[in-house]
Amino acid sequence: MGSSGSRSAHCIVHQPTPKPNPELDKPWRKFDWRQKEAIKEKLENFSPSSSAVQEIKILVAGQVGAGKSSFINSINSAFQGRISARALVDSSAGASRSFTRNLKGFTIRNGEKPLPFVFKDIMGLEADALAGSQTDDIINAVFGHVKDGYKFNEEKALTHKDQHYTSDPKLSDQSFCLVYVIAADTVQFTDDKLIDKLKIVRRTISDKGIPQVVVMTKVDEACPLVKKDLRKIYTSKKIKEKMDLCSDKIGVPLSNIFPVKNYHDEIDTEDDIDALILKALDQIVQIADDILVDIQS
């Protein structure tokens, strides 16, 4: 009896705990992967709602290394149909300091035709209070007080005494949307200093009605499911969790957060990458133009 019982005990097989499914049953956001050409045509025919503004200006800020300049290049690539690298990018692994040092505007082109929106690239945000893009510099750049070419100073923000300061900016000098670029593979928000910087900027420009959008890059690095198939981006549990965390910490609604993959090691453009990039751009431009309408009302 004892021997038989012992053998029975040894026969018990413990089944391995099944791994949780990394994918949702259905997409949490509807997305038409065939809309690339329709969005391109829509943006090519876009014109600002105010005759006082010839170009919609959009300021791009964000963490060091998140891909601000790469996002601008990826937009240009989607229109050019080839990989574009007008905004210089630092490809050094683990770069901790911003590669962008001067404020510069980039007009997006469709072939040789300039489109009526300009992205202003600013120095990357760093957590330390006196490192990276100063919050005052970002705020002043949004409101049109900072001239192109201004070299950011980590020790102090731009003042009205500087030659690059515009005391009385015109409506056309201002940005009508602030885009935060945040990397999905590092979006933990464990550093309160960086969050505090973002909140200072958000609070100040929100008082003037300027909207903020988050572009979440490096989704393929954050989620193996998405790395294998970009079209899984809206069924990925991990990407949804990252977006929820981002919305909670920064205060930007989920409807204003757009996950994308920038062009990085590709040598040709791809329709799925373009579709995500162009949809984010379309939303950004429309949000910015809505504010322009409100300002002119």
Q: 31: pLDDT confidence band, cut at 50, 70 and 90?
A: very high
> How big is the chain by its Cα radius of gyration, in Å?
22
The pTM (predicted TM-score) of the whole model is 0.86
Q: What angle do CA 267, 76, 100 make, to 5 degrees?
A: 95
Cα-Cα-Cα-Cα torsion 167, 133, 239, 15, nearest 10 degrees, comes to: -160
The Cα 159–Cα 137 span in angstroms is: 9
Residue range 97-112: mean pLDDT, rounded:
75
Question: Tokens standing for 223?
Answer: 């989620």
Secondary structure (3-state) at 294: helix
Q: Are 108 and 117 in contact (CB under 8 A)?
A: yes
For the chain, where are the E strands, in sequence order? 56-62, 104-110, 113-121, 178-183, 212-217, 257-259
- What's the chain's average pLDDT? 85
Looking at domain 33-296, its CATH architecture is: 3-Layer(aba) Sandwich (3.40)
Query: Which of the residue ranges 28-37, 43-52, 92-101, 118-127 would you say has the lowest mean pLDDT?
Result: 92-101
